[in-house]
Amino acid sequence: MVKVTRGTLVKCDPAMKEFLIHLDETMAIGTKFIIEDLDEQHLFIQTDAIETLMARVDDLMDKISFPMTEKS
């Protein structure tokens, strides 16, 4: 039987995909949100998780960036 699911297709680089999978496995946003792992660059996820994920990715980028200028 053909299975029909509604959601959001996310296209990203493999590294970002791993991060998303990590978030999913550790239930970082409270629930699982990945519906289907499609291929190296594509994930199929629940639409309502997008906003939270965007914020999480922002946080990650904040964490791994190093301020170049000294605060005076």
User: Which residue ranges make up the site for another protein (CB under 8 A)?
Assistant: 1-13, 16, 20, 35-36, 38-39, 42, 44, 47, 50, 57-58, 61-62, 65, 67-69, 72
40 φψ region: left (φ > 0), alpha (ψ -120 to 50), beta (else): alpha
70 contacts: CB under 8 Å, gap ≥ 6: none
CB of 7 to another protein, least distance (A): 6
CB of 14 to another protein, least distance (A): 11
Between CA 64 and CA 9 the distance in angstroms is 26
CB of 11 to another protein, least distance (A): 5
